[in-house]
Structure 1
């Protein structure tokens, strides 16, 4: 449920309502309660970012601790074009100020 980020060393919640079904080490009812609590916590609007797309936009996120979801807000005649690029990093630079 929680992993250590391989670069930052911070704890990351690595469970989400789309994939996580059970915490194996716990009784089923306790697992259900804990997962429901975690999902409710992580789905709060204050943790959400919604992007209004413009031509040329590029979004990047750290997939290790981020939920992402495409909203089907486009018609059949509109195309959703996605290119995925995965970066394998070995260093973390923290908050670098310009």
Structure 2
């Protein structure tokens, strides 16, 4: 389930991603520059699918950090994991188009 998205999160937001990139946007742009367009579109489709599902922020956190292995701590705020993932989705959509 969400295999392309899991790989994207694991690759783009690995343990040392902040040493390699100044921010999420730069990491996403690097992913797009190094992967095929069809792969990026597949990740975008899975992101849209996941964001359309009614899942708690706590469960989304588990998927992003535990299941996908991403090393990320979004800014505090309501629905912080949903907000962060929507931001990443927008960065990906901007970079793909």
Structure having the higher strand fraction is 1
Structure having the higher helix fraction is 2
Return the TM-score normalized by structure 2. 0.29
Return the TM-score normalized by structure 1. 0.29
- Which structure's relative contact order is higher, taking Cα pairs within 8 Å and 6+ residues apart? 2
Greater C-alpha Rg:
1
